[in-house]
Amino acid sequence: MSTPNASDSAWFSGFAPAKLNVRLKVRGRRADGYHLLSMLNVPLGLRDTVRIRFSPQNRDSCTCHGPYGPSSGEPTDNSVLKMANLFRAHIGAVRHVECEIDKQIPVQAGLGGGSSDAATALLLLEALFQRELSPAQRQMLAAKAGSDVSYFLWSKPAWVRGVGEVVEPIELGWLNGWPCALIIPSFGLSTAQVYAQLRYGPWQEFAAGADASLDAVGLTGASASAASFFDACIENDLLEAAIELEPRLSAILRAANGIAALRNGMTGSGSALFSLPLDRHQGVEELFNRLEATVQPLGARCLRTQIVWNHPTR
């Protein structure tokens, strides 16, 4: 994250990484309708870039560009402007901001782009306004901004629980730098509609707590092969609901599953799928080429990235 000396015209910029939900289990539903989750999240090298400065005009503005950016404008649900409003209210500031977002993360794909943008914006706003918050204050604002924002303040492998506000970093060093292919369909999926499609119940049958099925493989990977780890971890309780809303997703996943050396799943509420090779070194390019050729006739394309964290500019 770049932090030049503060001035009215200085831009503050930082990267906002995408994430994978390697595992997503629905554990219940609160009285207010929000679902309780248990997720194993990892960050990706795929990322947006967020830039913020004091606005030269007496209003907030946000311009999005890049392959997944809408035309210029100030949408009311813009996650960065929402964070700016929360931050100013918290510190008692009134100055308006101008932001730019280079959108490289696909939208309506379950990759957390908007939430990551908001988390990065919070760090940039602290630098811009020269007001450093405590970790507890950051977590409080992140929870108000959106369900996934708290995770992106860490952007490391973590168990994420509750409605996304409980983040427990874990050690998965062997997975850092692991190749990943994202399968991006030609359609997106609404998070709200996917959750509304869930048919589980009664919710009491979902017990909160750790996933016992992962104990056998060990989260550190010290005693487990990649295959046993991925086979134990990759699961998403939203997949069935997503397929009911968009049946084409099933055909794409079935095609990817036909490649034996890959392990595949859906991230978040979709529509993006992910593919992880069982060997991080041998034949990865050939595998991903084969994957791309397999899903292209189904209207999907591949984005190649890797699981990575501790980036020096984040």
Q: How far is CA 237 from the centre of its chain?
A: 17
Q: What is the pLDDT of residues 149-164, one digit of tens each?
A: 999 999 899 999 999 9
Q: How confident is the model at residue 199 (pLDDT cuts 50, 70, 90)?
A: confident
Q: How confident is the model at residue 184 (pLDDT cuts 50, 70, 90)?
A: very high
CATH architecture of 173-307: 2-Layer Sandwich (3.30)
Domains 12-169 and 173-307 share a fold: no
pLDDT computed for residue 201 by the predictor = 58
Looking at the whole model, is its pTM more than 0.85? yes
Dihedral of CA 208/214/215/220: which sign?
Answer: negative
CB 19 within 8 A of CB 111: yes
pLDDT computed for residue 7 by the predictor = 62
Q: What is the mean pLDDT of residues 241-253?
A: 97
Instruction: Calculate what percentage of the chain has a pLDDT beyond 90.
Output: 77
Q: Which residue among 48, 102, 148, 231 is the active-site one?
A: 148
**Total residues found in the chain within this entry:** 314
> Which has the higher per-residue pLDDT, 56 or 76?
56
Q: What is the mean pLDDT of residues 49-61?
A: 94
pLDDT computed for residue 58 by the predictor = 87
pLDDT computed for residue 77 by the predictor = 55
Least confident of 11-20, 68-77, 281-290: 68-77
> Which has the higher per-residue pLDDT, 224 or 87?
87
Is residue 103 part of the annotated active site? The answer reads no
Task: Tell me how far apart the alpha carbons of residues 151 and 164 are, in angstroms, rounded to a whole number.
Answer: 7
Q: What is the mean pLDDT of residues 68-95?
A: 81
Q: What is the mean pLDDT of residues 116-138?
A: 97
> Which has the higher per-residue pLDDT, 135 or 58?
135
Q: What is the pLDDT of residues 58-69, one digit of tens each?
A: 899 999 999 987
Q: How confident is the model at residue 209 (pLDDT cuts 50, 70, 90)?
A: very low
Q: How confident is the model at residue 71 (pLDDT cuts 50, 70, 90)?
A: very low
Query: 12-169 belongs to which CATH class?
Result: alpha beta
Q: What are the sequence ranges of the domains in the chain?
A: 12-169, 173-307
Is residue 19 part of the annotated active site? The answer reads yes
Q: Which residue among 8, 19, 215, 279 is the active-site one?
A: 19
pLDDT computed for residue 219 by the predictor = 55
pLDDT computed for residue 34 by the predictor = 87
